[in-house]
Amino acid sequence: MRFAVFKNVSQMSNAANTSTTIAVRSSRLWALFHLNCTRMLFPARMSADQIGVSTTNVYFWLTPWRRIDEHLPLSHIAEVTHIRGFFWDAISVESSGGLNPLRVFGVPKPLARAFVEHVRERLNEVAPLVTQGTRR
């Protein structure tokens, strides 16, 4: 089930301009090892589409209706960071303003790698080309 997203990403790497959405979530096994009951029941999710990157986090397991959904448009993304761990990775998406990055911890390695590559491809499509003039 969780590698189904990975298969879709590898198939669409050549056609990054399609309107597909890629989503990753934190591992429940990671949450078990970190004794995080909330993440075991409600894994943190991060998704990316042609508009931007979104996260969904439930912060307390007794009140799942209280969650925080954040969205960052592609035009405001400054950096996508892939933080590698021994078993699981983390993804951090920073805005151009520099405050409150979107983060997801405990993502399986292949899914994190595919997600970061996908978002970077999207950013390269959106970013304007900067040409340097010749110096004299």
Q: What is the pLDDT of residues 36-62, one digit of tens each?
A: 999 999 999 999 998 889 999 998 988
pLDDT at 129: 59
Question: Measured between alpha carbons, how far is 98 from 100 in angstroms, rounded to an integer?
Answer: 7
Question: Measured between alpha carbons, how far is 103 from 90 in angstroms, rounded to an integer?
Answer: 7
pLDDT at 94: 92
| pTM for the full predicted model | 0.76
Helical axes 109-126 vs 2-12, angle rounded to 10°: 40
Joined together, the tokens standing for residue 87 give 């078993």
Structural domain boundaries in the chain: 22-124
Rounded average pLDDT per 10-residue block, the chain, 136 residues: 45 51 92 92 92 91 89 90 94 88 93 93 74 64
* CATH class of the structural domain 22-124: mainly beta
